[in-house]
Structure 1
């Protein structure tokens, strides 16, 4: 009787609640939060509008998940298993929404939503270094039910290093600086470095993995990063993202959360003096394991282009290791600097005869050297003592 009265009170206090619930459509249920009181519908999501082929989700906890829960293993081994659990075959959803504005007359931008079928390969695992390469393998169904594809695209790469001694920090304007990591942020910590589709650097972060029984997550500190394609293709009113990442392992996949401030710069490494922050966005990418999908086109690309991408990674690492400040003449993505290396990878993959490794190395060097400013060779790297003086750009805000 008391429960019935309480329920009746709620209905009387909220007379529109049942009406709203009855009118919710399937499309409405896709949103957890949005700009509820915005007039009209200018904030419908932008992004991918294609429809994929039918996929089958993995519904039971995976072997990787069970391995992560194994009792008695060391913290380092549990960390490694969490990182390696991100490898595999996935359906991925990408969602970003700008949640807060910090300038007068602020108007929210449209949220972003897209999807993909993506395989994550373990390129390297030395025990304390793990390299994961993401590859999109997409097939689409048109309005007539016809399937197109598969289309293979090399996506981003994430490198993990245990107890790092240095870190690459983004300063804005296609410029990165290598700094020394303080001792207290080395022990037990992992550095994740994220690379763009052409293996040029993007951003990095450092944190410890947290394991609480069935919960394993890594959440780094705030850091700067270049604008991604989803932003620079429609925005020109800010210069860098300042944010952090959280990677969390689930029984059938993993999630990647981002919380970013959108900031304007005065100059490289310095925020604008007045009103530098335009807004804040939240991002949530969900990686769900799938089974029965045909990844053969991606596997072939990964294997046939391996000599090129091995040389590319080596070249970028050489540039990073031998310079204190790495500056590019433009954005690898926005300014299409990546196109020649993509084309060359395809040429090597389609060659009728194997191309000598030295020839590949020379061609890769030539292409990546073209990323550098012609009149501004990279600065020779200083001693480690000098590198410690380099300012982390996040210190200008936090």
Structure 2
């Protein structure tokens, strides 16, 4: 009897924790005024000159596009003025997920698996680029106290969009991510290392502080343009997600090319969407394009 009570209490505790986690994850949603601020802070190289700070702002609509028992898919759309919308990044949250796709360098991604039990009560945040290619994945448990919710991880990632056409001196951004969620919005704080990775060695070029501050707006009129845009474009991007899932579900190491015939992946997707195909045709064409960009590497999956 005592053992049964203990098991019931443990089960209830896990359920309560997971429910609080889901509330925090979905607490990121809404219409936000967002500011993006980055500043390089320290370099071990005395000859290195810190680069100019980066500042940007906008209106971002964050919303759930898919939800199941152990998975929440959240899309970000950036509104520029009253008419222009940019499909921004996407994040998938998966519960007790043993699979992790980690960036290595220069388009190479490596799959690994957590040992049994290591993912208990934890969530993986899988972040994707504007074309739904992977950007980074990290795993951690949420903590909840005093009306605040915190999740943090340290992960390797490609260069951010603000720098990947400008910088050649580093090839890995080691992201220190901390997400704080409150009723007023959420804060994405970053302590990043810009690293030059060669086989077997990581050379720190410079460290960086990043603050992405999302202030939730009580009036969502500023996000009406993004809602209308998504209503029109959602079916196509559902097809894109489905075909990328076919890639990820193979649990293989992959290399993603930046260009095919001098075009980026997003350019091919834009062209396909303009054709106004049905879903079956879309998925066939999306798959054909992904087969040109994604190379499967025959390596043994590692353990975390």
| TM-score for both structures, normalised by structure 2 | 0.88
Cα distance change on mapping 1:83 and 1:109 into 2, 3 Å: same
Contact 1:198 1:342 in 2 (8 A): no
1:187 Cα deviation after fit: 0.5
SS at match of 1:295: helix
Q: What are the superposed Cα offsets for residues 39-69 of structure 1, whole Å, 9 maximum, x if unpaired?
A: xxxxxxxxxxxxxxxxxxxxxxxxxxxxxxx
Contact 2:60 2:223 in 1 (8 A): no
1:366 Cα deviation after fit: 2.1
* Aligned counterparts of 1:206 and 1:326: Cα–Cα separation in 2: 20
Question: Could you tell me which of 49, 61, 64 is aligned with 1:122?
Answer: 64
1:292 Cα deviation after fit: 4.4
Q: Report whether the alignment pairs 1:328 with 2:260.
A: no
More strand by share: 2
Q: Which moved more, 1:155-164 or 1:299-308?
A: 299-308
Question: Could you tell me which of 21, 39, 44 is aligned with 1:102?
Answer: 44
Question: Could you tell me which of 135, 141, 154 is aligned with 1:202?
Answer: 135
Q: Which residue of 2 aligns with 1:283?
A: 210
Question: Could you tell me which of 219, 237, 241 is aligned with 2:173?
Answer: 241
Q: What are the superposed Cα offsets for residues 176-214 of structure 1, whole Å, 9 maximum, x if unpaired?
A: 111001234300110001000000111110111011121
* Aligned counterparts of 2:87 and 2:271: Cα–Cα separation in 1: 12
How many positions carry a matched residue from both structures? Answer: 289
Q: Report whether the alignment pairs 1:226 with 2:148.
A: no
Q: What are the equivalent positions in structure 2 for 1:33-52 lying under 5 Å apart?
A: none
Q: Which residue of 2 aligns with 1:365?
A: 287
Contact 1:307 1:360 in 2 (8 A): no
Cα distance change on mapping 1:283 and 1:186 into 2, 3 Å: same
* Aligned counterparts of 2:175 and 2:301: Cα–Cα separation in 1: 23
SS at match of 2:244: helix
Higher relative contact order (CA 8 A, sep 6+): 2
SS at match of 2:78: strand
Question: Could you tell me which of 214, 239, 259 is aligned with 1:311?
Answer: 239
* Aligned counterparts of 1:323 and 1:238: Cα–Cα separation in 2: 28
- Highest CA radius of gyration, 1 or 2? 1
RMSD: 2.2
Q: Which residue of 1 aligns with 2:144?
A: 211
1:82 Cα deviation after fit: 0.2
Q: What are the equivalent positions in structure 2 for 1:1-398 lying under 5 Å apart?
A: 74-139=16-81, 149-220=82-153, 222-267=154-199, 270-272=200-202, 276-290=203-217, 291-330=219-258, 336-345=264-273, 347=274, 351=276, 355-372=277-294, 377-379=295-297, 386-389=300-303
Cα distance change on mapping 1:323 and 1:378 into 2, 3 Å: farther
* Aligned counterparts of 1:185 and 1:285: Cα–Cα separation in 2: 30
* Aligned counterparts of 1:153 and 1:240: Cα–Cα separation in 2: 25
Contact 2:126 2:137 in 1 (8 A): yes
SS at match of 2:45: coil
* Aligned counterparts of 2:224 and 2:187: Cα–Cα separation in 1: 25
SS at match of 1:130: strand
* Aligned counterparts of 2:43 and 2:222: Cα–Cα separation in 1: 43
Q: Which moved more, 1:304-313 or 1:117-126?
A: 304-313
Contact 1:244 1:258 in 2 (8 A): yes
1:368 Cα deviation after fit: 2.1
* Aligned counterparts of 1:113 and 1:134: Cα–Cα separation in 2: 19
SS at match of 2:283: helix
Contact 2:105 2:172 in 1 (8 A): yes
Unaligned runs of 5+ in 2: 1-14
SS at match of 2:163: helix
1:331 Cα deviation after fit: 6.6
Contact 2:272 2:282 in 1 (8 A): no
